Structures are given as C-alpha cells and as structure tokens.
Chain A
C-alpha cells in the first residue's frame, strides 16, 4: 500500500510540477540559465509520466470478506 501511495503521489507530484513549470514559463521573465534548468527538469518529468501512462494492465484484487473482523485479503 505504501508502494501505491508513493506511486500515486509521484505521478500527481510530477504532473503538478510539470504544470507549474509551464506556468513559470508562461508568466515569468526567465533568464536563459533558469529556462534551461527548468527545461531539463521538465524533460525528466515527461519521461517518468509517459512511462507511467504506457502501463497497460489493470490489477484486480478481490476483497476476502471476513465477518468476524475487518481483516482483508492482504493480512
């Protein structure tokens, strides 16, 4: 589950960061140094995001109901 949390926050973090960089470019009077630095960062983000989007299979896990307690299939 922590894997999943990290995975999720990573995609959204990367996506949000990419949007932030776009906004910085749109608003800011960036100098060439900053521009190149952000461009490099965005290229890394795009790569990670695209890799995630290229995943094909969805995983299905059925919850094993246990009426006595709330334990689930992973316990």
Chain B
C-alpha cells in the first residue's frame, strides 16, 4: 500500500491496483467531503447498490451509494431531478472509474424539492400517515416537554420565551439538532429515537424550526423524519417554518403549530386561564353549596311552621284530654268521698248485721252437726240397733239374699255375734224360694 507522502522526485512505477488505490486515497485526503449539484440523468438500483449519474450542460459524474445510506431520500429521487450529492470523491480500484461515494443525495432547488415533496406526500398519504383519525390528543397539562430544535436558534428562544410567559414549573428536555443541511435528517431521527426510548416521563414533543425556503425545510420533508415522527410513542407537536409552509412533518404530527411561539401557546395553557378556571370552579361549588344551604334553611323554616301548627293542634287535643281527665278525677274524688261518708255513717250497723249473721250461721251449723250425729250408724248401734252382714261382708237387708246355713255376722254396739241361718220368714210375702232351698 503506497503512503500518501510518496516521494515523487524519483521515478515510481505503480501497479494498476496500486495506482488506483493511491489516487483514491489522495482524493479522499484532499477532498474528504464535497457537495456536487447536478441533474440526475440516470438512476439504477442493483442489489443493495445505487448507481446515479448526475450531469450539467457540459459534464457528467458518476455517483455510487448503498441503498441503506439513501433510505431517507431515495424514494423522492427521479431522473431529471436536480440534486445535491454529499459525499467523498474516489476511484473504484477494480474498474478505475472515478466517482463520488455519496452519503446523501438530496433534491435541490424549489422545483426538485416540490416534485420530491409531492411524490413523498402522495406515497405516505396512501399509507395513511396523515390521517386525522390517528392523531393523538395533546396532554392538557404537560409537566415535561421534549424539544427538538437547533440550539441558539430563534425558534428555540421564541418557544422558551412564550412558554415562560404562559406557565411555570414545566421541565423542558432539550435535544439540540441541526435543522438543515445534510446531517439534519440523521440528527432529527436520532433525537426522536432518543425520546422514544428514554425512561424519563415526557408528556409531549415539540419539533420546530423557523421559516425558510423549501430547501431549508428539506429535512422535514424526508421520509425518514416523517416516519420517525409517525412512529413516536409520545405525541408530537410540529411547528416547521411559517404559516404558509406545510412540511410533511407538520402533516404527520399530532398537532400542527404555525410558528415556534404558536407551538408554546398550543402546548401549555396560560396560567391565568387555568387559575380563572380553578377559581371559577370554586365559585360555582360555593354557589351550589349556598343554594343547598338556603334550600335547607327554607325547608327547615317551613318544617318549623308546620311543626308549630301540629303542636298547636296537639296541644288542643291534649288539653281536651286533660280537661276530661280532670273531670273524671273530680268525679272519682267525689265518689270516694261519698263512699267514705257512707262507711262512716253505716259502719256500726254493718258490724251489728254481720255479728247477727255470724251468730245465725253458727246456730245453723250447730243444728246441722246434731243432725249429722243422728245419722251416724255408730249412734244407731248405741241406741240398740244392730247390723247383720253376710259371709261376704255385705249388709243383709232382705231375707231373699240368704240361704239356709249361711253364716251371719251381727254387729252390736259392743262385739259381734256369729250365727247360722236356720229358718227364714218373710215379713210381707210368702217365701217359697227359701222354702224350696
């Protein structure tokens, strides 16, 4: 491999390979990065390689790149389009062909950009990237806002200023990016990816830059940036260029602001607005509460009036009862008094009457006792009567109950006689049955 500081004073013979490699290295060192503008005269894709020829009126130049390097813009390119090629000039060592190894190929000039823009817009619209339905709501009260814009830019200071005028206590997570030039696309995409994967809680993203030509805004019209915005898990507010500029990022964002200042106006409510809403709510709640309280007061006073009436009515009923009770009480008292009087007056008579009655009853009882004594069989025996019982102990009252030879027991007042029936004689009728026995 030949060194760059080859001593040219001596004759040096290169091999073809060495020569091509040498020139390639030399070019790379002398012209590490060039931007060449030309119209695309041919555009071919083979495998993963991209072969472009650019030309102006007099000359042409070959451009080589890899498809993955041009993904941002490849779909926008077409033959006849004016482009800027960003890359490193070199020599293809095997073929010895001179070419530019391109890192970016960007449409150049209003016309080309317009064509590219429209081509990409149609393609992405067909995919549904700009559909209104997929737009997400912007948080009502974001506490952390991700900001993607150029450091020290007007867009940055305008956004920050207007935000500060409206609301405090907000955290701005600022990711500085280039907003134009060849590196802009990669940086913006990297920024969006950073926010997509950060573990910080970011409520929404603001991607913004000030106004400019279509070329200045070119990064915001590239497929890569548009898709990165589309793929952001965090809602995106875009403010690219001025009101009239309609970048594809504006179209794909969840919310479009006309300027960086307008973006700040849209993403945070003014503290005065929120304060008045809060105090308005407080007033409304207080008024409603007052209504409830006064309604209750009215109800209570109404209830008091009707309670008063009720009690008056009750009082009347009660007094009626009281009057009746009093009347009864008086009556009762009178009755009791009367009774007491009666008792006093007739007490002695009653006593006398009772005594007489008791005496009468005692006499009656006495005679009854005497009568009872007469009826006692023992007293009959005492007077000489006796009782004769049969062998089974039954009192014999009829001779017909006896047979000859039956044993009899006769109870006297003192002692018992045991005897045997020898003869029976009826008192009032003939006793054939006994005779027959």
Contacts and interface: CB of A to CB of B under 8 A. Distances in A.
Given A53-B271, A53-B275, A32 B293 contact: yes
Interface string B136-147: 000011111000
Contacts of A57: 164, 168-169
A8 B285 contact: no
B293 to A, nearest CB: 6
B376 interface: no
Given A32-B292, A70-B197, A60 B172 contact: yes
Interface string A50-72: 10111111111111010000101
A58 B164 contact: yes
Contact of B281 (A4, A7, A42, A54): A42
A32 B293 CA distance: 6
Given A4-B144, A49-B274, 13 more contacts: A4-B200, A4-B201, A5-B201, A8-B144, A32-B296, A38-B285, A42-B281, A52-B169, A59-B170, A60-B160, A60-B172, A61-B173, A72-B200
A19 B278 CA distance: 9
Interface in B171-225: 171-176, 190-191, 193-194, 197-201, 203
A70 B169 CA distance: 27
B81 to A, nearest CB: 32
A57 to B, nearest CB: 6
Contacts, number: 121
Contacts of B201: 1, 4-5, 8
Nearest to A42: B285
B284 A53 contact: no
A7 B168 CA distance: 13
Contacts of A61: 171-174
A48 B383 CA distance: 128
Contacts of B434: none
A63 to B, nearest CB: 4
A36 to B, nearest CB: 7
Nearest to B173: A61
B169 A58 contact: yes
B263 to A, nearest CB: 14
Interface string A21-64: 11001100011100110110011001001101111111111110
B233 to A, nearest CB: 14
A46 B281 CA distance: 9
A65 to B, nearest CB: 8
B143 A25 contact: no
Given A18-B278, A63-B194, A70-B198, A58 B285 contact: no
Interface string B262-276: 000000000100110
Contacts of B170: 58-59
B286 A63 contact: no
A22 B172 contact: no
Contacts of A60: 160, 171-172, 174
Contact of B288 (A5, A25, A49): A25
B40 interface: no
B316 to A, nearest CB: 34
Given A1-B201, A5-B201, A55 B169 contact: yes
A34 to B, nearest CB: 9
A11 B144 CA distance: 13
B163 interface: yes
B61 to A, nearest CB: 32
Contacts of B163: 58
Contacts of A4: 143-144, 171, 200-201
Contacts of A74: 200
Contacts of B174: 60-63
B275 A50 contact: yes
Contacts of A54: 168, 271
A36 B293 CA distance: 9
B282 interface: yes
A5 B201 CA distance: 6
A33 B382 CA distance: 106
B198 A30 contact: no
Which among B140, B168, B174, B292 has the highest number of chain A CB atoms within 10 Å?
Answer: B292
Nearest to A36: B289
Contact of A58 (B160, B274, B275): B160
Interface string B365-404: 0000000000000000000000000000000000000000
B266 to A, nearest CB: 16
B171 A58 contact: yes
